[in-house]
Amino acid sequence: MTTQVQNIIIIGAGPVGIAAAAHSIDRGLTPIILEKGSNAGYAMAQWGHVQVFTPWKYLVDKQVEQLLNKTDWVYPDKESLATGQEIVDRYLIPAAQTAELAEVIHYGAEVIAVAKTGLSKSSSQERESAAYTVHYKTADDRYHKVEGHAVIDASGTWDSPNPIGLEGLPVAGERENAAAITYGIPDVLNKERSTYAGKRTLVLGGGHSAINVALDLLALQQDVSDTKIHWGLRRNNLEKLLGGGINDKLPARGELGLAAKAAIDSGALNLLAPLRIDSIEKTTTGLQVSLFVDGIDETIEVDRIVVAAGFRPDLNILRELRLDIDEIVEAPAKLAPLIDPNLHSCGTVRPHGVVELSHHDKNFYIVGMKAYGRAPTFLMLTGYEQVRSITAELAGDHEAARRVELVLPATGVCSSNKLAATSTSCCAPSAPSASVSKAHSCCG
């Protein structure tokens, strides 16, 4: 077995980036991690108040665990559920502080471009043998670059939320009123309580992230009665919201959906579906939102809008590379048919690795959430298997790279039906019970 590359540049120190570095070290390779934030798991901490579906036993990479076991780290209760912040504090930061990883992570390093060394995208001569140059800037706005034999992009999608418009574009007034619009999962019960208490909020999105926000707002409403909640769904597909319920092998996900259904049935949530937003206009008393709901033009006034409509990969930093990207899902072309949300959900996406993640430029890989493009079906275990396979390939162990070493948990809400127009996905709503006290997130 001959080592094919030496140093690997890894973009992002989230769960999959950290795992990529650990597997690289195990394979005798030299990782260099460039992390935009000030600590490992920086993006995850942005939704740190949210509890994930999957228990700890599905959150820890085996190779990272080996590094942690050399320290005084204690594995959390494997059957318990964690919040995003707990994953950061009890897993990612301790891992990043191990002797092996601490010396290879560079914080405050925002990657701005990746290219073949000395070659633009249109340059073919000696391209396959050329190394990679990763350009990045630090907090002091100084520009730097580092060269590597391979690049693993584990930068995620958190900074690229989908806009409001059905066409994948912002609606009129969306950019102009950005100060009153939040993308993602705001902490409405704690850090941002004063922003939402006693206010009128429109939540947009048909997945678990949107349910998280809606249920937290309902809890806030119990304390501050004049808190008003509208929930807008692009499609009137309540069956999708029901999910797997008690049949879901990730119980927290089923409970979340049950709680949402109870809230809808009780009328505590003003459900707007199917919904199209045409424009947003600021008034003296709030935001006037022009809607098209179930075939009827309407106007409502709110104080805040929360857009929990998923994310998309930012491919701008990769513009000078020759990628093999599916035109629909924006995932690696060989992976895309396996994760197309029209056809699959998390339980039906088989483990995959270097074969499905390769591009035209050799030894460049997109992994983790970003590898899934616009598909909302990612689980951490899948990312760990991706980087295990890739690092084996980079080390020259082609047999191990193509061997599947992961069995994913089956889930009741997952499906695979090429004829169904509304397959459920792992980040789409399940079925409700007002007794659920904490929200849950999809991508554990």
Confidence of residue 77 (pLDDT cuts 50, 70, 90): very high
Question: Is the domain of 343 the same as that of 353?
Answer: yes
Instruction: Please tell me whether residues 284 and 347 are part of one structural domain.
Output: no
Spatial CB neighbours of 217, under 8 Å, sequence gap ≥ 6: 188, 196, 201, 203, 227, 229
Going by pLDDT thresholds of 50, 70 and 90, the confidence category of residue 262 is confident
Q: Which residue has the higher pLDDT, 380 or 264?
A: 380
For residue 260, what is the domain's CATH number? 3.50.50.60
Mark whether 144 and 14 lie in a shared domain.
yes
* 288/324 same-domain check: no
State how far the Cα of 357 lies from the Cα of 345, in Å rounded to an integer. 19
In a domain, 206, yes or no: yes
- pLDDT exceeds 60 at position 379: yes
pLDDT at residue 263, as a whole number? 73
- Tell me if 64 is assigned to some domain: yes
Q: Is residue 414 part of a domain?
A: no
Is the predicted pLDDT of residue 438 greater than 90, yes or no? no
247: pLDDT confidence band, cut at 50, 70 and 90?
A: very low
38 lies in the same domain as 136 = yes
Q: Is 66 inside any structural domain?
A: yes
DSSP state of 213: H
Q: Which domain holds residue 435?
A: 178-309+424-441
267 and 202 in a common domain: yes
pLDDT digit string (tens) for 275-323? 999 999 999 999 999 999 988 999 999 999 999 999 999 999 999 999 9
The confidence score (pLDDT) of residue 104 equals: 97
φ, ψ at 318 (rounded to 5°) = -105, 15
Mark whether 432 and 358 lie in a shared domain.
no
Asked whether residue 93 is domain-assigned, the answer is: yes
Mean pLDDT for all residues in the chain: 87
Mean pLDDT of 32-36: 98
Ramachandran angles phi, psi of 121, nearest 5°:
-60, -35
**Do 355 and 220 share a structural domain?**
no
What is the average pLDDT across 251-259?
A: 62
Question: Quick one: what percent of the chain has pLDDT higher than 70?
Answer: 84
Whether the predicted pLDDT of 148 surpasses 50: yes
Residues 152 and 38 in one domain: yes
Indicate whether 271 pLDDT > 80. yes
Neighbour count for residue 385 (Cβ, 10 Å): 23
pLDDT of residue 207: 80
- H-helix or E-strand containing 208? helix 208-223
- Of 186-195, 246-255, 339-348, 381-390, the one with minimum mean pLDDT is 246-255
Section 26-45 average pLDDT: 97
**Measured between alpha carbons, how far is 259 from 256 in angstroms, rounded to an integer?**
5
293 shares its domain with 431? yes
Domain assignment present for 247: yes
Is the predicted pLDDT of residue 122 greater than 90, yes or no?
yes
* Mean pLDDT in residue range 319-338: 96
pLDDT band, very low/low/confident/very high, at 389 (cuts 50, 70, 90)? very high
- Kindly tell me if the per-residue pLDDT of 113 is higher than 50: yes
Kindly state whether residues 372 and 247 are assigned to the same domain: no
- What is the mean predicted confidence (pLDDT) over 399-422? 62
**6-15, 106-115, 234-243, 264-273: least confident range:** 234-243
Q: What are phi and psi of 57, to 5 degrees?
A: -65, -15
Place of tokens 């193509």: 402
- Indicate the number of domains in the chain: 2
Q: In this model, does residue 91 exceed pLDDT 80?
A: yes
pLDDT of residue 433: 32
What's the rounded mean pLDDT across residues 145-168? 96
280/429 same-domain check: yes
Write the CB contacts of 221 (distance below 8 Å, at least 6 apart in sequence). Answer: 227, 228, 229, 268
Residue 172 lies in a domain: no
Residue 344's pLDDT band, with cuts at 50, 70 and 90, is: low
The confidence score (pLDDT) of residue 411 equals 52
d(CA 132, CA 111): 13
Q: Is the pLDDT of residue 383 over 90?
A: yes
**What percentage of the chain has pLDDT greater than the value 90?**
72
Q: Is residue 390 part of a domain?
A: yes
Contact 14, 40 (CB under 8 A): yes
Provide the pLDDT for residue 348.
56
Radius of gyration of the chain (CA): 22
pTM of the predicted structure, to 2 decimals: 0.87
Residue 232 to residue 307: CA distance in whole angstroms: 10
Predicted local confidence at residue 417, as pLDDT: 42
- Average pLDDT rounded to a whole number, residues 380-401: 96
* Confidence (pLDDT) at 443: 42
Q: What is the mean pLDDT of residues 379-400?
A: 96
Q: Which two tokens stand for residue 5?
A: 């590359």
pLDDT of residue 364: 98
